[in-house]
Amino acid sequence: MSVEHKTDSRQMLGRLREVMAEDAHGQARLDRITALIASSMHTEVCSVYLFRDAETLELCATEGLKPEAVHQTRMRLGEGLVGRVARTAKIVNTADAPAEAGFRYMPETGEEIYSSFAGVPIQRLGETLGVLVVQSKEARKYTEEELYALEVVAMVLAEMAELGAFIGDSAALSARHTKPVLFRGSCAQEGSAEGHVWLHEPRVVITNPIAEDPAKEAERLTEAVDRLRVSVDQMLEGASADAEHLQVLEAYRMFANSKGWMRRMQADITSGLSAEAAVEKEQTQARLRLSTASDPYLRERLHDLDDLSNRLLRILTGQGTETGAEMPADPILVARNIGPAELLDYGRSLRGIVLEQGSVGSHAAVVARALAIPLVIHAKDITNEALNGDHIMVDGDQGIAHLRPEDTVTTAFRDKIAMQAKAQERYASIRDTPAVTKCGTQISLTMNAGLMADLPSLESSGAEGVGLFRTELQFLIRNKMPTRSELSSIYSHVLDNAGGKRVVFRTLDIGSDKVLSYMKPAEEPNPALGWRAIRVGLDKPGVMRMQLQALIRAANGRPLTVMFPFVAQYDEYRAAKAELARTLERERILGHVLPEKVELGAMLETPSLAFAPKAFFEEVEFLSIGGNDLKQFFFAADRENERVRRRYDTLNVSFLTFLQRIVERCEETNTPLSFCGEDAGRPLEAVCLAAMGLRALSMRPASIGPVKSLLLRVDLVALREVIEEAAARGEQSVRRAVLDHLRNTSA
């Protein structure tokens, strides 16, 4: 890269700074910029195309093409050379544009006399805002130095657009972050909420993209990088001995000390960018590579570099996570991702949560369910679009979020919330009514829990007890293993708050998607089928023993109910039962008060356990079907995989037949059986489960009212006949037949 190029680039940015300082409207400023670039690049044409919507680019300013084409010439994403640059976010540089594949001739622009073409994406942090184009009559390719200069200018244009420098009458020139946007994600926790955006990591705003004094900017960058390196070293010194945690921090240190990273940013500053803009330019390139990387290791490393760039930007700008902004009274949390401990810090103050990443089985999703907060995941790019204080509506049922919604959407959404509120009033009126169907069958409805915050719902929801208490949450929200006394205190409070109602404590269910930060994870090709739950407990008996001791001491003479997760065969249950017996004997010898009664059960989450010997069903004191895992293994459909998880229906005849077989086996041995999982909390699925013979359902507290309301109006005998008739007709799912039956009987 020549010195002459650097000087030219700096001069062009210097002239750009003068244009930015002028008292001009958006269109006039953009027109001046295209003329300036064409003059500086010694080329006949410079044009700026910006997105008017997600799929359409519009010519917003030009020097050299016909002026009447401005705001009239449009093209679809991917159409023509400009559309290709916008779609791929890659430079197109050709000496013979008409000969390029996909070239689109636009006669209204008068561009037919220009042969050469160079298009550079205008992008910020992985988001493409438009395309900067230069053209000339001479058939030549633009040099690397010229393309680099265009990239630097495009970076500044992106920052100017972010700051609202080009606001005008055209849709493509409308103010950034003011348009209504609909984000389609996935449902991780049902419910609806309206509020205002609260960004977990507020965006860094760069107000000075152009360097006035490159030497001073280079010095600022060096000082900031030195501070960054010190902070990473301090994190390493204070880190736990966990290998994975150390590996991440070592990657941070490697990037923080990367000479290539530093050299590229210094070159950007020499070309005329400010220190902040130089960091963000490199961050944008990292995000672009991140979006196309298929190698998981490379993706993780690029994510590390992206995170490190954010830290460096906050040092340079002084914009830490504490920005001085005040959290709104009705906050909807928006983030790329979030851990369970951070989410618990917010607690019930949140109305809803929208994440760019996440999964239905993630720790954050588990906490959101516990707090009954609507959660939408996979809302792509929402952190780039949302600003603190933006009006937002979250529909967890549909997995969508309306950012800055139009009035018609707001009205319809509020009507939906009002209807849900009326329904909740109706559910409150039947809170203390037993769930007895029209045919006289009583169904036990209990709630799932995992946090102390869940327990007030035991009274308000009308739940008969806690059918599943997830003990792993107490491990997941800490950065080190909880002590036995800490666990004992927590479990004791749970029993105290239950007020004598039955609480089923599921022992530690880690592995698969639940990885403890302080425990080295096993490298497994398919963790959901790997070393998890009871398998971990049996291989690490010290952890299981510690938890069982905590449960026994928490009971302090009261009845205790314990359930082992993910039992796949009889021998695993017997081994776990033997460990409990040894622990009880050890506690007796130590003089601790033993529970009045210990009830011991297992979760049936693998098809294999349904075919266990009869002796298992006779020995186990109760069984709970873990519907989420059982369904994914039954259909061989990973519930974390969005492509397949919704393809298989709980009301599929084959799955219902399988559940019926489990019910019959339990009836043979008088083994109490319940169903626990998301489907238990869906009214339609719940009544079908009851019709198949399940007499106990455990669900999130908010689902008890809707499920009970439908159970009170259903004749299970008649519903069973409908299911059997649909199966006899060869229907794959009974859903349609059941819906028709319920509509007809309620009409």
Annotated catalytic residues are 363, 676
In sequence order, the β-bridge partners of residue 623 are 602, 673
Measured from the Cβ of residue 156, the count of other Cβ atoms closer than 10 Å reads 25
> How many angstroms separate the CA atoms of 44 and 38, rounded?
6
- In sequence order, the 6+-apart residues with CB closer than 8 A to the CB of 384 are 124, 125, 126, 127, 203
Number of C-beta neighbours around residue 518 at 10 A: 14
Q: What is the DSSP letter of 273?
A: B
Maximal C-alpha separation, the chain: 96
Q: Which element (helix H / strand E) includes 475?
A: helix 473-476
- Cβ atoms of 140 and 362 closer than 8 Å: no
- Sign of the torsion formed by the C-alpha atoms of 20, 21, 25 and 28: negative
Amino acid at 595: P
Q: 696-699 and 444-449: which strand pairing?
A: parallel
Asked whether the beta carbons of 644 and 638 are under 8 A apart, the reply is yes
Residue 716 near residue 732, CB atoms below 8 Å: no
Helices (H), 590-652: 607-610, 614-619, 627-635
Between vectors from CA 205 to CA 204 and to CA 210, what angle results, nearest 5°?
120
> Sign of the C-alpha dihedral, residues 366, 369, 373, 378?
positive
SS (H, E, C) 364-393: HHHHHHHHCCCEEECCCCHHHHCCCCCEEE
DSSP labels for 69-138? GTTT-EEETTSHHHHHHHHH---EEES-GGGSTT----GGGTGGG--EEEEEEEEETTEEEEEEEEEESS
User: Angle at the Cα of 730 (from 729 to 733), degrees rounded to 5?
Assistant: 105
Strand partners, 120: 132
| The one-letter amino acid at 55 | E
Sequence-distant (6+) residues with CB within 8 A of 254 are none
Tell me which residue of 76, 77, 72, 96 sits closest to 87, measured CA to CA: 77
Joined together, the tokens standing for residue 103 give 């070239």
384-402 core/surface letters (b: 16 or more CB in 10 A; e: else): bbbbbebbbbbbbeebbbb
Q: How far is CA 79 from CA 85, 102, 352, 741, in A?
A: 9, 7, 38, 50
Contact 696, 672 (CB under 8 A): yes
CB count within 10 Å of CB 123 equals: 23
d(CA 187, CA 171): 31
